[in-house]
A and B are shown apart, each in its own frame.
Chain A
């Protein structure tokens, strides 16, 4: 910021930088991530400098306990391509997660829904998590299935890198329609075979996918009656 440029006799001849933006002052380059220049864990107390890498998720050993073994065995029996479809099985906090190869997810869902000993009639939820930096296949789409007959829950998880599509399960579970649209809207994961994959929460002409980890909080200027306030990550930084 140079106030001296364009100064004659101490009187600035040009408007100070930032004046045309409506911003309080021209801002320094925005921090890498987070608001208020937060780096690392976002620990504002300053005590825990430790940045913990996310530990790799390992296969759980058998027996898994509870009804998990029954579900696993029933799926193995009902689904011929079982061994190539399942990547790993994780039991954590009394919840079963089956990691499925992306191209097999529709078939697995079909079997999970229709087989008599599985009967996961309800797809409770479809959403995604962005593991940027800790997994090459950064987007993990999770499907929470509920069996009303047996009162069981199972989570299916598929992992894809950016730009690779996941088959849509709307043919098996029509309820996934809007939820897959939300995942597409928020993460940019494309669901192949979805009947109408458009944005759902953000405006149609929005650029970027807000829930990605490399998408900043804020990021867009706030417009109010002609004045424009810069986005939170580009405002004055106190540090």
Chain B
């Protein structure tokens, strides 16, 4: 029946197995007798363009209706939490930034806030460092929501949205690159401060972006919101109300789209979010449509926060005054990326032995963190990001656990998918915005 050597079929003890490569659904429909056997088990993923990364869904179908859905995860597990225990506290930043690769800054900020709380230095973080952190976390939220818009657009058939979304995100990555030397995996926010001060050129870029994005956003809204296909694919699809969200631990835009204005930036403020003026957008439809509206509105709110942060930015240090914690090297951004500043190298190598010892000890051994445990939660683009950090008094973390919103939110897929149509599994899954790097860690 099938001619392609990749799209084969074979008989097993469990029934006939088809390998599907796309566009050949007719083959399967013809291969199964619809009168005697209507049940099909579809293995969607782990490499499927619509499963948002390496997520695997085992779907039991009756006709086109999903009877049972079983998510299988772990394909991207890299043991980051285990690795952290073998590195010092500062090095940990370079690991956690790689967890959820669409919101590096939020991962770093959560980790650093936890380490700072363990050290008891939360109040000593400089004003400028906190303001830049807030600004970058919000830029990261915008970037993440843009990618959500892009990928969800693609999955629901609006391919042009994918190109636009990724194009706009690139502006934000440019800002990150201008500041930290890297587009992604920045390791920019460090325990005690920031790796590098915000250069004037980046400030100009952010100002330009604040003018640029709102115009574009209007276009995208006009393109999607008024479009019948988009409305039909999202309205009334994958409904999950507040009760369901709380039982399953779902937070973030999905919970707010169900009507509960729970946003940790407002309800349990950190980094001085209570001093910024912004609203928490909500919707009442609790479906994919509501989640779309909430995310678009959140981009606008984040732009407001970025603007306020820019306005209150004053010159000053970005590292904590305590020299036992502040990174000694004063990194400088060169043409080839972030590195040691030449002045600093000249000083430690040529002039001050004590500086060299201090630098060497802090960089190789790191600082000690008093024993104890903390749980710090921040509002990540996808929901509550919790960092449970435990110290035994040494220079390395004893244990760091990430309560990843992608991981917890993915539990909602069966609740959304079962009883719905196969096509709505894609829309529902996409509306949760899972990032498998964060989910599997």
Can you spell out 20 A-B residue pairs with CB atoms less than 8 angstroms apart?
A41-B394, A41-B395, A43-B365, A45-B364, A54-B392, A93-B372, A93-B374, A95-B374, A122-B246, A123-B249, A124-B386, A127-B401, A130-B399, A151-B267, A174-B247, A174-B248, A175-B408, A201-B77, A203-B74, A217-B85
The residue from A123, A176, A202 contacting B74, defined by CB atoms under 8 A apart: A202
> Which residues does chain A contribute within 8 Å of B364, judged by CB atoms?
44-45
Chain B, residue nearest A125 (CB): B403
Distance between Cα atoms of A115 and B117 in the complex (Å): 30
B335 to chain A, nearest CB (A): 31
> Which residues does chain A contribute within 8 Å of B390, judged by CB atoms?
129
A55 at interface, CB cutoff 8 A: yes
Distance between Cα atoms of A121 and B244 in the complex (Å): 12
The residue from A121, A125, A151, A200 contacting B401, defined by CB atoms under 8 A apart: A125
Residues of A with Cβ closer than 8 Å to B? 34-35, 41-45, 47-48, 52, 54-55, 92-93, 95, 97, 121-125, 127, 129-130, 134, 142, 144, 146, 148, 151, 153, 155, 173-179, 182, 199-203, 210-211, 217
Distance between Cα atoms of A155 and B260 in the complex (Å): 24
With contacts defined as CB atoms under 8 Å apart, how many contacts are there between chain A and chain B in the complex?
130
Contact between chains at A43 and B395 (CB < 8 Å): yes
Pick the 10 closest A-B CB pairs, nearest first. A175-B249, A125-B403, A45-B365, A127-B401, A201-B74, A201-B77, A52-B393, A129-B399, A174-B247, A45-B364
Distance between Cα atoms of A210 and B396 in the complex (Å): 18
B176 at interface, CB cutoff 8 A: no
Contact between chains at B118 and A93 (CB < 8 Å): yes
Distance between Cα atoms of A43 and B120 in the complex (Å): 23
> Which residues does chain A contribute within 8 Å of B372, judged by CB atoms?
92-93
Contact between chains at B248 and A175 (CB < 8 Å): yes
> Which residues does chain A contribute within 8 Å of B403, judged by CB atoms?
124-125, 127, 144
Residues of B with Cβ closer than 8 Å to A? 73-74, 77, 79, 81-83, 85-86, 117-118, 120, 246-251, 260, 262, 267-268, 360-361, 364-365, 368, 371-375, 377, 384, 386, 388, 390, 392-396, 398-399, 401, 403, 407-408, 410-411, 440-441
Chain A, residue nearest B393 (CB): A52
B258 to chain A, nearest CB (A): 13
> Which residues does chain B contribute within 8 Å of A182, judged by CB atoms?
407
> Which residues does chain B contribute within 8 Å of A95, judged by CB atoms?
373-375
A202 to chain B, nearest CB (A): 7
Chain B, residue nearest A217 (CB): B86
The residue from A121, A124, A134, A210 contacting B384, defined by CB atoms under 8 A apart: A124
> Which residues does chain B contribute within 8 Å of A210, judged by CB atoms?
79, 82
Chain A, residue nearest B404 (CB): A125
Besides A125-B388, A142-B373, A178-B408, 6 other A-B contacts (C-beta < 8 A): A93-B118, A124-B384, A127-B403, A129-B399, A174-B249, A175-B248
> Which residues does chain A contribute within 8 Å of B250, judged by CB atoms?
175
B61 to chain A, nearest CB (A): 21
Contact between chains at B440 and A201 (CB < 8 Å): yes
> Which residues does chain B contribute within 8 Å of A42, judged by CB atoms?
86, 394-396
The residue from A144, A173, A177 contacting B375, defined by CB atoms under 8 A apart: A144
Chain A, residue nearest B81 (CB): A211
Distance between Cα atoms of A95 and B73 in the complex (Å): 32
The residue from B117, B360, B386, B399 contacting A144, defined by CB atoms under 8 A apart: B386
Distance between Cα atoms of A38 and B260 in the complex (Å): 50
Distance between Cα atoms of A127 and B73 in the complex (Å): 18
B114 to chain A, nearest CB (A): 10
Distance between Cα atoms of A175 and B377 in the complex (Å): 17
> Which residues does chain A contribute within 8 Å of B388, judged by CB atoms?
125, 127, 142, 144
B100 to chain A, nearest CB (A): 15
Q: Determine which residue in B81, B249, B390 has the highest number of CB atoms from chain A within 10 A of its CB, and name it.
A: B249
Contact between chains at B249 and A122 (CB < 8 Å): yes
B92 to chain A, nearest CB (A): 13
> Which residues does chain B contribute within 8 Å of A130, judged by CB atoms?
399
